[in-house]
Structure 1
Amino acid sequence: MHIAVVGLSHRTAPVEIRERLSIAEQSMEDSLQRLRADEQVLEASILSTCNRLEIYTLLRNPEQGVSAVGSFLSQHSGLELSELMPHLFAYHHEEAIGHLMRVAAGLDSLVLGEGQILSQVKKMYRLGQEHRSIGPILNRLLNQAVSTGKRVRSETNLGTGAVSISSAAVELAQLKVGQARGIDDLVPLDQEQIAVVGAGRMARLLLQHLQAKGASGVVLLNRTVSRAEEMAADFPALPVQCRPLTDLNHCLSTCSLVFTSTGADDPIITAERLGQLNRRSSLMLVDIGVPRNISADVSELSGIAAYDVDDLQEVVARNQEARREIAAEAEGMLQQEGQQFIEWWDGLEAVPVANRLRMQLESFREQELQKALSRMGPDLSARERKVVEALSKGIINKILHGPVTKLRAPQPRQQRHQAMKVVQDLFDLDDLQS
């Protein structure tokens, strides 16, 4: 068996590729079932965010298994494998384990130390359990990844004041508004007419950061107005008007700054739509949805400035340097946590030998117990029989405890293999290593 992760991220693929591979939660069960249908994939879990799509697997054969995952990604995205390959990465065993730990800790994020990724790893773990696509190996690995993410955030200052994708989007707007005014710095957004499209987690964070940056008011649009109103109630210091998504054209005509963060599969703002509107002289669009909510052709229109998640690098770089020293401290914890899992995984090699040893000793115990009981005669009570049987089981358990504990204890692989060979030879067990 072999642990591997295959995927892409903001480090390897532009947003136009990432959005083709995005998997919505309502499609997750079907995707996991399709992966598990391949005989090479023993366990599978999927991490799908705006900046990454990663598939963690337990495989029978590493080459054939990775090939099966690649075929799934090609079919899902509608892209030829030759188009995908330049953007994909594949990590195996220790590298895959280390990568997951870094992801959960926020060290592989666009925004170093962001907190949202940990909740997304938790969600991957939960969906894997709900859809029964993970077994004992990935269950243990994902659980430890979540614990590692929590540990890094509690034992370092990496998560203190960490910016999110949403806050980076607000800072990008501040920077671009400032540049439009001839100021090469972040400026307040109190003079902007702002709209936020969507009422999910990212939209909530947008409202939080807009409130902190002194926005004078926001129009919040959503298909379900009641959901938008529930969210707006959590921001009493920020005047929020809640409107249905059908008012989008009006907002595009009257607002100067529009953020989009919806789960729509296709763009909701296109050049054709904007071209039909009587809009103000300039409009800034900031899209943090993946798949994108704003089509790429809108930038061709006069007076329109459009940005997506890949454009956030400009402001993210301003905030990263102060966090790199803390990240270096966290790396040591990740190595420790990764090694702990590898030691547990290596210890599983000894399980077949330990089980075969137990089966053999249990067979001897049963044979000798029956001989002893037959010699004791028919006058032995049921209680006395149970006492004798419990005695024999206790002796076997005592004999097994030492060898099994030593076989599974953390140790170099070569040393464990030698110990397994000794046990096999001493007890004349079948050769279980392959």
Structure 2
Amino acid sequence: MAFAASLLPPPIAKRTTIVPCPCPSRVSFKITRSQLLSQRNLSLNPRCQLVLPNEKIDSTALTASPLQLLKSSSSANRYTKEKSSIVVIGLNVHTAPVKIREKLAISEELWPQAISELCTMNHIEEAAVLSTCNRMEVYVVALSQNRGVKEVTEWMSKISGIPVSDLCEHRFVLYNKDVTQHLFEVAAGLNSLVLGEGQILSQVKQVVKVGQGVAGFDRKMSGLFKHAITVGKRVRSETNIASGSVSVSAAAVELASRKLTESSYATARVLVVGAGKMGKLVIKHLVAKGCKNMVVLNKTKERVAAIREELKNVEIIYKPLSEMLACAAEADIVFTCTSSETPLFLKEHVEMLPTVQSELGTRLFIDISVPRNVEQCVSDLETAVVYNVDDLKEVVAANKEDRLQKAMEAQPIILEEVNKFEAWKDSLETVPTIKRLKDNSERIRDAELNKCLSKIGDDISEKSKKAIYDLSVGIVKKMLRGPMEHLRCNDTRTLDETLENMRALNRMFDLGTDESVLEQKFRAKVEQARN
């Protein structure tokens, strides 16, 4: 596997040039957000130093710490005052062809490694990866928007071998509230190739399941994806978006049906390679289309046996993957849906297969895997026709208008949930202030308590000491109740009012929360790069 193989440390080489990624805030993208809605080889991240452009090096710079250099630099003021942002950098079926997407695909078991890799970068605080057959999207909490986008884009280029310039041509970049809306629409099935399909919601759930306990999948990322799951469930239960919708697997079966001409699934010889979630759906839709017997190849026999038990009166023959070519020789239609990162059917394999004897004349390969299971050049053969996941648009377009109408029902729910999440996320800004205010009050309380007890002397019972202690704690709690209440959003207080209260408390008590929190983050990143 190319992706896993690249986990080995790369040879040390002097980097002489860096291909800069155009600044996303100044680039004119080929697609707009509205258009977007209508529509492996991982190597260890090299340690990078915090470099500030146009800086003059003086004698003190040789002994100063990286953090001191950052704070004294001409650009530090703008840099340290920039708030962290949630950003998504991605490619999907609407923006990039499968030949690009498959190079970026990351298998689920490697998502934790990808998160760790991303969070070693200077400007990435949290991260999550959503990689499916239709999309590869990287979500991050970035300490700097532009620098974060640049680092993630270069990382994506590194794991895929795709030049940065080509990635910028196909990628999309969204920030903050737009990220929230995008992910909620993804979880609701509004951004899928097949509008309303349900499998994407389970894939979003997997992001949370895999991310639990992984350093870098922290409060904001976890909160964002958990809220997206809630939104996906709510949209499906309160709207008709899922009624009459089809999955990618169903679209694949329908596409093959349209190519059968005089033949049908009742007479065609069918082979299904892979019995995972997508393979199981393919089998179910084949049965619904009249297919009564088929051969299923899989690594293990148990999954096929479970499907056979569920689908009565259908002959499902299990074969191991080692018999793949022999089974393909006897098949008219081959569906491939495995997680293999390398092609299973090469041109030389298919070239040796006997000619199809049925009315089809050519053997159909319906490949809905990403990366693809059938080598692209197989389509050059006269004896085979290959369709991949991007070719399903022919089927999807048939009832697009009806599903778009249903999608409109989900928009009010999406917007309501976006506002809820954004309020929660913004309210997190008050947490450091609350903590600092409590810590300051506790220090004062403890110091005054000790001063009081020292004046009283030793002639005091433990019961009296506890009463004085309880008195000091009670006074502080009651004094803080008002300020704490005004640092929390509620039905009568807007977010702007809450944040203004936070700033006022910062000024009155000289808490310096904003600056100190960012300094801590930068210090952690600098130390990480030095170790």
Give the TM-score normalised by structure 1: 0.92
Residue aligning to 2:275:
199
CA distance in 1, matches of 2:232, 2:482: 35
Relative to structure 1, the CA distance from residue 44 to residue 312 in structure 2 (aligned partners, 3 Å threshold; closer, same or farther) is: same
1:383 Cα deviation after fit: 3.1
Q: Secondary structure at the match of 1:220?
A: strand
Q: 2:308 aligned with 1:232, yes or no?
A: yes
Question: Amino acid of the residue matched to residue 286 of structure 2?
Answer: L
Q: Is the 8 A contact 1:44 1:57 kept in 2?
A: yes
The 5-angstrom pairing of residues 348-427 of structure 1 reads: 348-409=428-489, 414-425=496-507, 427=508
Where in structure 1 are there 5+ consecutive unaligned residues? Answer: 182-186
Question: Amino acid of the residue matched to residue 350 of structure 2?
Answer: L
Q: Which moved further from structure 2: 246-255 or 286-295?
A: 246-255
* Structure holding more helix per residue: 1
Q: 2:40 aligned with 1:40, yes or no?
A: no
Q: Of 247, 253, 257, which residue of structure 2 is paired with 1:170? A: 253
Q: Secondary structure at the match of 1:13?
A: coil
CA distance in 1, matches of 2:320, 2:438: 66
1:336 Cα deviation after fit: 1.2
CA distance in 1, matches of 2:388, 2:312: 29
Question: Amino acid of the residue matched to residue 483 of structure 2?
Answer: P
Q: 2:332 aligned with 1:251, yes or no?
A: no
Residue aligning to 1:81:
164
CA distance in 1, matches of 2:483, 2:504: 10
Relative to structure 1, the CA distance from residue 367 to residue 13 in structure 2 (aligned partners, 3 Å threshold; closer, same or farther) is: same
Q: Which moved further from structure 2: 18-27 or 375-384?
A: 375-384
CA RMSD of aligned residues (A): 2.0
CA distance in 2, matches of 1:332, 1:14: 31
Q: Of 282, 293, 297, which residue of structure 1 is paired with 2:373? A: 293
1:390 Cα deviation after fit: 2.2
Q: Is the 8 A contact 1:348 1:408 kept in 2?
A: no
Q: Secondary structure at the match of 1:159?
A: coil
Question: Amino acid of the residue matched to residue 415 of structure 1?
Answer: E
CA distance in 1, matches of 2:111, 2:185: 23
Q: Secondary structure at the match of 1:324?
A: helix
Residue aligning to 1:283:
363
Q: Secondary structure at the match of 2:259?
A: helix
CA distance in 2, matches of 1:118, 1:267: 27
1:373 Cα deviation after fit: 3.3
Question: Amino acid of the residue matched to residue 99 of structure 1?
Answer: H
CA distance in 1, matches of 2:264, 2:467: 81
Residue aligning to 1:216:
292
Q: Secondary structure at the match of 1:108?
A: coil
CA distance in 2, matches of 1:130, 1:217: 44
Q: Of 391, 395, 401, which residue of structure 2 is paired with 1:311? A: 391
CA distance in 2, matches of 1:415, 1:27: 43
1:130 Cα deviation after fit: 4.0
Q: Is the 8 A contact 1:286 1:306 kept in 2?
A: yes
Question: Amino acid of the residue matched to residue 471 of structure 2?
Answer: L
CA distance in 1, matches of 2:499, 2:341: 52
Q: Is the 8 A contact 1:4 1:59 kept in 2?
A: yes
Question: Amino acid of the residue matched to residue 50 of structure 1?
Answer: C
Q: Is the 8 A contact 2:355 2:383 kept in 1?
A: no
The 5-angstrom pairing of residues 15-164 of structure 1 reads: 15-164=98-247
Q: Is the 8 A contact 1:260 1:293 kept in 2?
A: yes
Q: Is the 8 A contact 2:93 2:134 kept in 1?
A: yes
Q: Is the 8 A contact 1:254 1:279 kept in 2?
A: no
CA distance in 1, matches of 2:501, 2:299: 64
Relative to structure 1, the CA distance from residue 304 to residue 81 in structure 2 (aligned partners, 3 Å threshold; closer, same or farther) is: same
Question: Amino acid of the residue matched to residue 59 of structure 1?
Answer: A
CA distance in 1, matches of 2:312, 2:94: 38
1:174 Cα deviation after fit: 1.3
1:196 Cα deviation after fit: 0.2
1:258 Cα deviation after fit: 1.0
Q: Of 418, 424, 435, which residue of structure 2 is paired with 1:338? A: 418
CA distance in 2, matches of 1:134, 1:30: 11
Q: Of 513, 516, 519, which residue of structure 2 is paired with 1:432? A: 513
Residue aligning to 2:408:
328
CA distance in 2, matches of 1:382, 1:208: 74
CA distance in 2, matches of 1:417, 1:46: 31
Relative to structure 1, the CA distance from residue 193 to residue 61 in structure 2 (aligned partners, 3 Å threshold; closer, same or farther) is: same
Where in structure 2 are there 5+ consecutive unaligned residues? Answer: 1-83, 516-531
Aligned-pair identity in percent equals 38
Number of residue-to-residue matches in the alignment? 426
Q: Is the 8 A contact 2:437 2:511 kept in 1?
A: no
Q: Secondary structure at the match of 1:233?
A: helix
Q: Is the 8 A contact 1:44 1:128 kept in 2?
A: no
Residue aligning to 2:341:
265
1:192 Cα deviation after fit: 1.2
CA distance in 1, matches of 2:506, 2:365: 68
Q: Is the 8 A contact 2:116 2:215 kept in 1?
A: no
Q: Secondary structure at the match of 2:96?
A: coil
Q: Which moved further from structure 2: 15-24 or 245-254?
A: 245-254
Q: Which moved further from structure 2: 322-331 or 93-102?
A: 322-331
1:222 Cα deviation after fit: 1.9
Relative to structure 1, the CA distance from residue 162 to residue 388 in structure 2 (aligned partners, 3 Å threshold; closer, same or farther) is: farther
CA distance in 2, matches of 1:24, 1:384: 64
Question: Amino acid of the residue matched to residue 237 of structure 1?
Answer: N
Cα-to-partner distance string for 1:295-329 (whole Å, 9 max, x where unaligned): 12222222422111001111112233222233112
CA distance in 1, matches of 2:215, 2:136: 20
Q: 2:86 aligned with 1:10, yes or no?
A: no
CA distance in 1, matches of 2:107, 2:503: 48
Q: Is the 8 A contact 2:115 2:217 kept in 1?
A: no
Q: Is the 8 A contact 2:292 2:315 kept in 1?
A: yes
CA distance in 1, matches of 2:473, 2:91: 53
Cα-to-partner distance string for 1:227-277 (whole Å, 9 max, x where unaligned): 433333322232101112232222322211110011111211122211112
Residue aligning to 1:184:
none
CA distance in 2, matches of 1:227, 1:360: 60
Relative to structure 1, the CA distance from residue 36 to residue 421 in structure 2 (aligned partners, 3 Å threshold; closer, same or farther) is: closer
